[in-house]
Structure 1
């Protein structure tokens, strides 16, 4: 299956569903409104479009339809990161990491996690 590339608005909807699980349009809309005002009908239309693109599944056995993410968060993150890496850093993961670490305050805990990941990638050397 080809991984779809969600728009920014679609990604926001997916993030609500990934975090909270299958839910109603109203629930998703209320969470979107915590960040910026979004009309209910706008959210409904986007979710219907996403269902048509097979990004969302829909349970319509009850009067209130329940939507769920039909794509995995890891798959979308990998797809978006690969495109970003190619377009922005000409495919260089090291340039991306150097920029990310150089442009922000990285906590000791985050650095420890990065060291642990590097150890795993190197086979525990």
Structure 2
């Protein structure tokens, strides 16, 4: 499902709409607006315009077969997160994943999150 748009990074507003689409799946502008309105004040036409821009940037796909167009993320949540993290590691941490992870892990990291991270590291060790 990954589209050739890895160099295109979503803005904060675009990422908010992508989060809605990842959560509810393909949706009309009205459905996205209703979902986003639960947490922030955004006009319908603003959501429509952002989705149109996102379509031009290939961040979302658009099904125009019905009167109400249906938008869907062009890439998975994981793909987009990985792309954003690679960009952040490159820009802010000199390309060092370990520096990024060490900065992210601080006193606010819960014991449950540390256990999940430890399990992931163990699984990665077993794969190599």
Is TM (by shorter chain) over 0.5?
yes
Q: State the partner residue of 1:108.
A: 111
Higher RCO, Cα 8 Å, sep 6+: 2
- Secondary structure in 2 aligned to 1:58? strand
- Secondary structure in 1 aligned to 2:32? helix
Aligned residue runs from structure 1 range 41-80, under 5 A: 41-80=45-84
Q: Give the whole-Å Cα distance in 1 for the aligned partners of 2:76 and 2:31.
A: 20
User: Alignment RMSD, CA only?
Assistant: 1.8
Q: State the partner residue of 2:102.
A: 98
Aligned residue runs from structure 1 range 7-86, under 5 A: 7-86=11-90
Give 5+ residue unaligned stretches, structure 2. Answer: none
- For these two proteins, the number of residue pairs brought into alignment is 124
- Secondary structure in 2 aligned to 1:61? coil
Q: State the partner residue of 1:2.
A: 5
Give 5+ residue unaligned stretches, structure 1. Answer: none
Q: State the partner residue of 1:123.
A: 126
